[in-house]
Structure 1
Amino acid sequence: MPNRANLDEIRAFFAKMMAAASGTDDPRYERAFELVRREAFLGPGPWHAFGFTPVAGIGPRYVETPSADPIYLYQNLLFALDVGKRINNGEPFLHAGWIGSVAPKPGEVVCHIGAGTGYYSAILSVLTLPDGAVHAFEIDENLAHRARHNLAPFENVAVTTGDATRLPLPPSDLIYVNAGVVAPPPSWLQALRPGGRMIFPWRPSETVGLTLLLTRAGAAFKVKPLGPSWFIPCVGASNEGECTRIPDSREAWSARSAWLRADREPDGTAVAVYRQMWFSSVEIPAGQQPVA
């Protein structure tokens, strides 16, 4: 029989697949996903993979790996961080695509909201070296404790336990949100530096879920929908009562700019309106486009 692949070979292939899923040719992505070991952030095995089913009336369930061999972790599956709360380590290919879309650069300051046990915080930290910094926020005390332990070897990462919708964020080049948001808090938008990016799962209603990429351009924010996404709700940013105009799926996908109401009140182009901000179907003026 031919020799079977060992764990290092499987991890290296996983890293190549993640780099391909990022949509970029930057060699740093493959190195980052090979360097950061997924098993170091999931706790001792066996682990529980989150299984989906297309059959109506049959909900998702967890499937336990046959053993504690890390080889099972290097595939495009969600694994539980907390089975009871249905909190998972996010889908690898989705996150690879997100990270490729926001393109973290050396020296940038990143806020990771909903860091879990820190796996993607670690990836972001490697991609911002040298001289970058990652501020990881996690509201669940147990997960934050685990993240602080897991991220100890990554000297440019600081973990904060608490509600990122209420805590001050540092001036940021990138805000990376891993929980479903009805509307991003103004403090997040205001924390973005000129040209800064924020990526988050937008959940304006129970039936709409998509990834939005926001880029700061003066007083406005350029909006780019990237694809469907479904995350657990973000504590402090999931109140549909904040919305006075709820978009349907077509309107949500048509969003092209966002504004704080302190800077500009909603007009006839509004597709979603909230107490402190709103989304428009019209792109921001060319003179306010972010500089690359």
Structure 2
Amino acid sequence: MRKGKNLDEVRAFYASLMFAASNSSDPRLERVFELVPREAFMPPGPWKIMVNHRHYVQTPSADPIYLYQNALVALDADKGINNGEPYLHAAWLGAVAPQPGETVCHIGTGTGYYTAMMSVLVLPGGKVDAFELEPDLARQARQNLEPFENASVIVGDATVLPIPQCDLIYVNAGVACPPPSWLQALRPDGRMIFPWRPAEEVGVALLVRRVATGFSVKPLMPSWFIPCVGASSTEGCTKVPGKREAARTRSLWLTADKAPDETATAIYRDVWFSSAELPVKPTTARVM
């Protein structure tokens, strides 16, 4: 009884930390970090905790209390696949603000922890389609997500599989250039968040929003993930950004819609990034 009470207290404190890290005023974010048990999405303990993004330290036991800290936890240590850093995901969830009734595509679900959170945040009426390339992780995610009836797992490469029309694309793998299919899948006012890795020294989370005049971009924070298979190659890139150019990026374009110009910060075959702010679409004045 004592142990359970301590775990409840620790989980509640963990949730309050995540809410602060989210920079959001939506109390549902705190509640979802408290309600979704992290241990339910982990392999059997003891667990390996990542330190300084270099070394793993094993927990003393399989007591789940060790999981409620801002730490990467190994899902497959040999492949360097981890359950993501909670502070970072709290900030991402705060930035993209999943809403009831929305459709989410989660690319790189792992074992489903953050998928589960988004599935709760889009209730009632919303759903999450989760993509996972690693068959073993996808199998675990399906099992873990069984209690979350509005979440489904698709096994395969999300860069080539069809992406449904959605309000949010949440990408948990390093992307050099997002496939056009992801951008085209976004509904009006749809958001996409992903770790941009256009060069070895560049790692930044980008928030993309589909607006009336195109795709706006907002760089958020440093972000480092394992590469996204199918979207991490810089082959065919004719302009590679450094850290300064990446930080100045404010919009992106499909080359089919607009050719790269002097504002380009990065240029790929099908997509290019720009330092230019998108023009504001004028509103039509009402005649009284």
- Check whether TM > 0.5: yes
Q: How do 1:75-224 and structure 2 match up within 5 A?
A: 75-218=69-212, 220-224=214-218
Q: Secondary structure at the match of 1:245?
A: coil
- Amino acid paired to 1:286: V
Is contact 1:219–1:263 with CA below 8 Å preserved after alignment? no
Find the counterpart in structure 2 of residue 56 from structure 1. none
Contact 2:213 2:278 in 1 (8 A): no
Q: CA deviation at 1:4?
A: 11
Matches within 5 A, 1:232-251: 232-251=226-245
Q: Distance in 1 between matches of 2:241 and 2:32?
A: 38
Opposite residue 30 of structure 1, the aligned amino acid is E
Give distance in 2, aligned partners of 1:151 and 1:18: 22
| Distance in 1 of aligned mates of 2:255 and 2:152 | 32
Task: Tell me, in whole angstroms, the C-alpha distance in 1 between the residues paired with 2:27 and 2:207.
Answer: 23
Q: Distance in 1 between matches of 2:282 and 2:22?
A: 28
Say what the alpha-carbon RMSD is for the aligned residues.
1.6
CA distance in 1: counterparts of 2:113 and 2:265, whole angstroms: 35
Secondary structure of 1:147 counterpart = helix
5+ residue gaps, structure 1: 54-59
Amino acid at match of 1:16: S
Q: Which residue matches 1:264?
A: 258
One-letter amino acid of the structure 2 residue matched with residue 44 of structure 1 = P
Q: Which amino acid aligns with 1:227?
A: M
Q: Identify if the C-alpha distance between structure 1 residues 251 and 75 changes in structure 2 by more than 3 Å, giving closer, same or farther.
A: same
Q: Deviation digits for residues 12-62 of structure 1, max 9, x if unmatched?
A: 111111111111121111111111000000021000001117xxxxxx111
Relative to structure 1, the CA distance from residue 288 to residue 176 in structure 2 (aligned partners, 3 Å threshold; closer, same or farther) is farther
Q: Is the 8 A contact 2:176 2:197 kept in 1?
A: yes
The question of whether the paired residues in 1 share the 8 Å contact of 2:216 and 2:251 is answered with yes
Assess if the C-alpha contact under 8 Å between 2:100 and 2:123 holds in 1: yes
> What is the CA deviation profile of residues 73-99 of structure 1, one whole-angstrom value per residue up to 9, with x for unaligned ones?
000000000011010000000000000
The answer for unaligned runs of 5 or more in structure 2 is 284-288
* Range 93-102 or range 241-250, more displaced: 241-250
Q: Equivalent residue for 2:40?
A: 40
Indicate if the aligned counterparts of 1:217 and 1:288 stay in contact, CA closer than 8 A.
no
Is 2:48 the counterpart of 1:51? no
Q: Aligned AA for 2:262?
A: G
3-state secondary structure, aligned to 2:188: strand
- Name segments (4+ residues, structure 1) moved above 2 Å: none
TM-score by length of 2: 0.95
Question: 1:63 maps to which residue?
Answer: 57
SS of 2:235's equivalent?
A: helix
Could you tell me which amino acid in structure 2 is paired with residue 17 of structure 1?
L
User: In structure 2, what residue type is equivalent to 1:21?
Assistant: A
Give me the whole-angstrom Cα distance separating, in 1, the residues matched to 2:203 and 2:193.
13
Equivalent in 264, 275, 285 of residue 281 of structure 1 = 275
Aligned partner of residue 12 in structure 1, secondary structure? helix
For 1:138 and 1:221, how far apart are their aligned partners in 2? 26
Alpha-carbon distance change, 288 to 21 in structure 1, aligned in 2, over 3 angstroms: farther
Q: Percentage identity across aligned positions?
A: 64
Matched residue count: 282
Deviation at 1:218, TM superposition (A): 3.1
Q: 2:48–2:59: 8 Å Cα contact kept in structure 1?
A: yes
